[in-house]
């Protein structure tokens, strides 16, 4: 699957922001991101990588607005997004540019489909939701 660019603005009281890319593999959502100062944009962190098993996600939605669009991801544990900038109570919000809306819709649709498949697999006797 192709990657989706995102940002997480207004970190540390507006003094920092994060930029990154998200990619969905079969059972894992991959994030690569870095934070930078929100004033001049010159001080950047190293690129960080976070992999979230889909079994830890409970919901994926796309909120489209006139001035901003965001993917909202919710997890079954606050630890799922540990280390990700701007995570709050088991939820992260990924800000999108207008040109990336079609990719965002595709990613959210794929995520929802895969989450449904995992939930159905768990309902089967002996199902752990990890078989493909």
Percent of the chain with pLDDT over 90: 68
Question: 40-84: per-residue pLDDT in tens?
Answer: 767 778 999 999 999 999 999 999 998 899 999 999 999 999 989
The whole-number pLDDT of residue 113 equals: 94
Going 73 to 79 to 84 to 88, the CA torsion angle's sign is positive
Question: 82-93: per-residue pLDDT in tens?
Answer: 989 989 999 999
C-beta separation of 104 from 96 below 8 A: yes
1-10, 37-46, 95-104, 106-115: range with lowest mean pLDDT = 37-46
What CA–CA distance (Å, rounded) separates 69 from 57?
A: 20
Q: Residue 118 corresponds to which tokens in the numbers above? A: 């995992």
What CA–CA distance (Å, rounded) separates 116 from 129?
A: 10
What CA–CA distance (Å, rounded) separates 80 from 110?
A: 19
């Amino acid at each position: 699957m192709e990657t989706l660019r995102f940002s997480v603005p207004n970190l540390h009281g507006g003094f920092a922001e994060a930029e990154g890319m998200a990619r969905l593999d079969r059972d894992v959502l991959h994030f690569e991101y870095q934070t930078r100062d929100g004033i001049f944009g010159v001080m950047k962190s190293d690129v960080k990588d976070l992999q979230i098993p889909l079994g830890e996600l409970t919901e994926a939605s796309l909120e489209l607005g006139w001035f901003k669009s965001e993917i909202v991801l919710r997890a079954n544990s606050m630890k799922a997004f540990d280390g990700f900038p701007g995570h709050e109570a088991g939820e992260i919000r990924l800000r999108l540019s207008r040109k990336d809306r079609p990719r965002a819709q595709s990613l959210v649709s794929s995520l929802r489909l895969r989450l449904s498949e995992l939930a159905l697999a768990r309902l089967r006797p002996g199902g752990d939701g990890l078989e493909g």
